[in-house]
Chains A and B, each alone.
Chain A
Amino acid sequence: MDTFSLAGSLTGIRRFCKAALLICAPALLAACGSSERATDVAAEEGVLMIGIGSEPKTIDPGLATGTPESRVLYALMEGLIGQDPKDDLVNQPGVAERWESNEDFTVWTFHLRENAKWSNGDPLTAEDFAYAWKRTLTPELGAEFAEMLFVIKNAEPYQKGEITDWSQVGVKVLDPYTLQVTLEGPTPHFLGMTKHYTYFPVDAKVVEANGGAADRQSRWSTAENFVGNGPFVIKRWAISEVMETVKNPNYWDAANVKLNGVNFYPVENISAEETMFRGGRLHITYEVPSSKLPILKTKFKDELQIDKYLGSYFYRVNTTKPPFDDPRVRKAFAMAIDKQLLVDKVTQGGQQPATGYVPPGISGYEASTAVPYDVEAARRLLAEAGYPDGKGFPTREILINTSENHRRVAEAIQAMWKKNLNVEVGIYNQEWKVYLNSQINLDYDVSRSGWIADYVYPSAFLNIFTTGGGNNNTGWGNPQYDRLIDASRTAQTEEERMGLMHDAEEILLNELPIIPIYWYTRVYLKDPRVKGWYPKLLDRHPYKYIYFDNSGTAAADEVNGEGA
């Protein structure tokens, strides 16, 4: 086509382009001009921007069950005992000013401070705790974590509807500021348990006004109605976008709260979260993509945090199906994994190779070394079980829930079992809920698993493997193990309790219904300006101690800027 004849016709298009440019250019320039990062502004204003992994399913402490929920709840509420910023075993005053127990740790008395208030100004009394716990134990409510309260005398029969008289449950309000709790047995770590959100109070008036104790869908915990007693209150909650909180003027210790607010971002996509951190939209991430760890370790040395975490990564073994019904086979498989190599080359997040089940870090309890990496012993055990050099071993499979990280671990272990034991093992993945189903129904050979503690005590791990326990899921049971766990619940001294639990763990590690792999770490990115945030075994960080050090802002910017 001749171009000269088109000259005129193109003016229309040209005009359009010009107009488009005129509209777009200033917009683009404006975008370029706003080089100030949201995190810088927030740091100046004393507002922490933190990733919480996903949208909180609820902020009702009686119904909450997950980590994203807990991250928000520890800002909005406070229990009897306060969190210590550095150590999960240290108890800070919370709503209770002081507390004491009888000699065998079965009766605890909490003296509540009289200046504790709800965020709406209502006084906070012992009744609110009793009401909250009674509500969580109300059968019709169906609170998932009701079991957390079963250490309290008669809490379990009350929850199961076997008794209906609340006065028989070991919770007594002696006066508005004194709460007495009677337990099923001696529980020295009870104070630690009360730091969990399931033990948090609720404002009885507000809950009653919004449908009452038994209403799972109660509207009391919506952004508009929520009443808390923590250092921060909700300002705005835009679903799956952000929850903005500001300092709570009614908090008893408001004078010592350093931040002016905390903004919680439910970022589910961990790659997006990492780009948000680099793009100045987050001070602290929830996680990091493990495939990026090698880069982050060199480019973001000051930001990358690797904290010890009270969790254990292991494989469940289905002990009801041959050949894994033979403990020697299980032991051979467990000892044929080079866990050091695995954490160094595959997971790379500073995890510790697990030579036992209960992770280290619990005072008074040594982590076990019963399951070392020992190829010779492993091969010998496998031969004894009837499979010399892996001959005749049937093909078995590792079940994982769909995740790139779990697959990489499984592939490494598959290769180690091939090399060390000469057995072929397959890998198959299932979507999360299907995987949970298979695990509960023992529809697997070997299944990827993990367990994170709710409180710093070995029982948080060991309790789940009692015979027929709801989280056992291996088909394994040992009467001696059950007896030891039971005995530890009523033992009189700390030494005796720890000893009994240690013996129980040795039984578990001798029969190995699980194959320990590594002890968890929390790996995330943190802006170096954020101070007062320390590594913690349970990853619970009380926000009231956190503050910004803005003196080194320029240096921090340089480090952030070099990314890409």
Chain B
Amino acid sequence: MLRFIATRLLQGVLVLLAIYAVTFFLVAATPGSPFSSERAISPEILAQIESFYGYDKPVTERFVTSITNVLHGEFGPSAVYANRTVTQIIGASFPVSAKLGLFALAVALGIGIPVGILAAVRQNSWLDYLPMSISMGGICLPTFVMGPLLVLIFGLILEWLPVAGWFGWEYTILPSLTLGLYYAAYFARLTRGGMLEMLNQDWVRTARAKGVPERTIIWKHCLKGGLIPAITFLGPALAGIISGSFVVETIFQIPGLGQWFVKGALNRDDFLILGCTVLFAALIVVMNLIVDIVQVALNPRLKYE
């Protein structure tokens, strides 16, 4: 298992380097500069600024400098936010995104899995049809529709919850729901499917015939196997929650990293884009590794290779 983890981490580092290089040259090739604005600055001043940030050097030289800095753990200055470094911006905004992501994941699993189990156990009753129809709707509604809809209902009509901003725990509810419900719907359907497959196995019938309590059958014998499809989906779901935070952070005006990523791209703030890209990529690599480990632990048909 240790060898498996080591190999995967090594692969991960290579993937990150490749992503860094591709992003760097894509950004360098994009038209527009971090210093262009509607009010043009004189060519002399522009040249002074560019030389300050090293933009006057050839792109390959900039790449070498930049990757050396990153390997030393320094992403460089923000070209647009004059007195901030990329590390500072990430340091201030990543905890916010992480919190949002964790809450959204809690919503996705906390609602999706119980509902899925319930629907499977009560198959073809209203406890199955109703949640499954709602979840179909949930899957079809993109976050940029779900978000404003929740704001309208709970924020502006009922006035139960604040509509935007990030000023206390009550502000986390709507964004977490917006981001999490979509995946809750997926998890519900996957869990239902997985549980049904287990509940229809021959050994379940045998167990029932022998008089094993239904509670034991579900919780002890079927749950572990029934969750496998949901666990498999955990990897893509985590990636989705991370990238989904771009939209949700914009809708709810949350000072997270997703917003900065978008801002960085719009401002052509090279170092910021690179920092965010590497961080998001690293997160996805690590999350996928964890999901793989959990999967093997749960599913005896899989082995570490």
Chain B contacts of A3 at CB under 8 A? 122, 125
Chain A contacts of B159 at CB under 8 A? 35, 279
Contact of B213 among A8, A218, A433, A440 (CB under 8 A): A8
Q: Is A10 an interface residue (CB 8 A)?
A: yes
Chain B contacts of A278 at CB under 8 A? 156, 163
Least distance between B195 CB and chain A CB atoms (Å): 11
Chain A contacts of B49 at CB under 8 A? 142, 144, 216
Q: Is B251 an interface residue (CB 8 A)?
A: yes
Least distance between B178 CB and chain A CB atoms (Å): 13
Q: Is B197 an interface residue (CB 8 A)?
A: no
Q: Is B287 an interface residue (CB 8 A)?
A: no
Question: Contact at B218–A9, with CB atoms within 8 Å?
Answer: yes
Q: Complex: how many Å from CA A32 to CA B161?
A: 7
Q: Complex: how many Å from CA A17 to CA B118?
A: 11
Contact of B92 among A30, A239, A271 (CB under 8 A): A239
Tell which of B37, B49, B165 has the most Cβ of chain A within 10 Å. Answer: B165
Q: Is B45 an interface residue (CB 8 A)?
A: yes
A235-262 interface mask toward B, CB cutoff 8 Å, 1 = contact, 0 = none? 0001111100000000000000000000
Least distance between B144 CB and chain A CB atoms (Å): 11
Q: Which residue of B lies closest to A13 (CB)?
A: B118
Question: Contact at B36–A433, with CB atoms within 8 Å?
Answer: yes
Q: A239-B255, A272-B252 are in contact. Are A142 and B121 (CB under 8 A)?
A: no
Q: Is A143 an interface residue (CB 8 A)?
A: yes
Q: Complex: how many Å from CA A18 to CA B157?
A: 27
What bracket does the count of chain B residues touching chain A fall in?
A: 35 or more
Least distance between B191 CB and chain A CB atoms (Å): 12
Question: Contact at B255–A57, with CB atoms within 8 Å?
Answer: no
Question: Contact at A276–B253, with CB atoms within 8 Å?
Answer: yes
Question: Contact at A60–B93, with CB atoms within 8 Å?
Answer: no
Q: Is B43 an interface residue (CB 8 A)?
A: yes
Q: Which residue of A lies closest to B32 (CB)?
A: A433
Chain B contacts of A564 at CB under 8 A? 152, 156-157
Q: List 11 A-B contacts (CB under 8 A).
A: A16-B114, A31-B160, A34-B170, A216-B49, A272-B252, A278-B163, A279-B159, A433-B33, A434-B31, A434-B32, A471-B39
> Which residues of B line the A interface, CB within 8 A?
30-33, 35-46, 48-49, 52, 77, 80-84, 89, 92-93, 110, 114, 117-118, 121-125, 148, 151-152, 155-157, 159-167, 170, 173, 199, 208, 213-215, 217-219, 250-253, 255, 259-260, 263, 266-268
> Which residues of A line the B interface, CB within 8 A?
1, 3, 5-6, 8-13, 16-17, 20, 28, 30-32, 34-35, 38, 55, 57-58, 60, 63, 65, 139-144, 146-147, 159-160, 216-222, 238-242, 265, 267-269, 271-273, 275-276, 278-279, 281, 431-434, 436-437, 440, 449-450, 470-471, 473, 563-564
